[in-house]
Amino acid sequence: MAADQAGSRTDNGHRGESPAVPRNEEDLERIARICAAGADGDLWMDTRSVELYLGISRRTLYRLVKNGAIPVSRVGRRIRVSKRALDVAVAAGLVW
């Protein structure tokens, strides 16, 4: 990779994509709910919550959904992801 391109990549390795970072109080509350859910209970997360939980961009999330790496349920046009199923996919190495 050329030296001028080295700085253009983000932490997730994809050009032009920024990993999700908390932008406001609502994002911090989402992270707190995800952490509080623990391994016992299940939590259904929206796309923003999944982005924050995994630290990935929206574009990466939709690519993983399209490839079947992240199991989703659809409610109308909305996507919901089970935290339990997502944790299993991450542990199995399907997401990375």
pLDDT along the chain (96 residues), means of 10: 43 61 85 78 89 92 93 93 90 82
Strand partners, 80: 73
Helix (H/G/I), strand (E/B), else coil: 33:
helix
At residue 47, φ and ψ (nearest 5 deg) are -65, -40
- Residue 15, pLDDT score: 55
- Residue 94, pLDDT score: 81
Cα dihedral: 53, 85, 33, 30 (round 10): 40
DSSP type of residue 9: B
- Residue 3, pLDDT score: 42
pTM above 0.75, yes or no: no
